[in-house]
Each structure stands twice: as structure tokens, then as C-alpha cells.
């Protein structure tokens, strides 16, 4: 079960407070500005800056 749109709507990047979006594999949330991926584990979005993974682009 993926996370709901309702939940996605209330989430933002904890670092810059900007918009985030679901990645293609639907297992993470991406902040383009900070170039960070917030993982979704067992359908729980992990919105902690320390746990975020840098995205190489």
C-alpha cells in the first residue's frame, strides 16, 4: 500500500520547507532544491534531515 495523496499533501522538505514529490519507484520523496531523497519504509515517510539520502544528478 503506497502512502496516500492526503498524506503527501501535508509533507514538505524538512530542510527547506519546499515541495517534494514521490519518486518513480514510489519508495521515496524527492526535494529538488536540496537534492535529497526522503525514504519511505514500510509505507512510513521518514522526514528526518539526518536520515535523508543525497541525490546525485
Partner 1 sequence: MKCLVTGAAGFIGSHLSEYLIKKACKVVGIDNFMDYYPRSIKEANIACLRKNLNFEFIEGSLLEVDLLRLLNGVDVIFHQSAQAGVRASWGQNFKIYSDNNILATQMLLEACKQSPVEKFVYASSSSVYGDTKDLPMNESSMPCPVSPYGVSKLAAENLCCLYYKNFGIPTVSLRYFTVYGARQRPDMAFHRFFRWALEDKPLKVYGDGEQSRDFTHVDDIVEANWLAFEKAMPGEVFNIGGGSRVTLNEVIELMKELLGRELKVHYQGTQKGDVRHTLANMTKAGEKVGYKPKVSIRDGLKTEYEWVKKLVSGRVVE
- Using rule CB under 8 A, residue 5 touches partner 1: no
Q: Which of 2, 26, 35, 49 is close enough to bind partner 1 by CB under 8 A?
A: 49
- Using rule CB under 8 A, residue 53 touches partner 1: no
CA dihedral 3, 20, 13, 40 (to 10 degrees): 30
- Using rule CB under 8 A, residue 17 touches partner 1: yes
Minimal distance, residue 32 CB to partner 1, in Å:
16
Closest CA to 38 of 4, 19, 1: 19
Q: Alpha-carbon distance 30 to 26, whole Å?
A: 10
Binding residues vs partner 1 (CB under 8 A):
3-4, 6-7, 9-15, 17, 43-49
Amino acid at each position: 500500500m503506497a502512502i496516500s495523496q492526503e498524506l503527501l499533501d501535508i509533507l514538505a522538505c524538512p530542510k527547506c520547507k519546499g515541495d517534494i514529490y514521490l519518486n518513480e519507484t514510489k519508495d521515496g520523496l524527492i526535494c529538488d532544491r536540496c537534492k535529497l531523497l526522503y525514504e519511505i519504509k514500510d509505507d512510513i515517510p521518514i522526514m528526518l534531515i539526518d536520515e535523508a539520502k543525497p541525490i546525485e544528478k
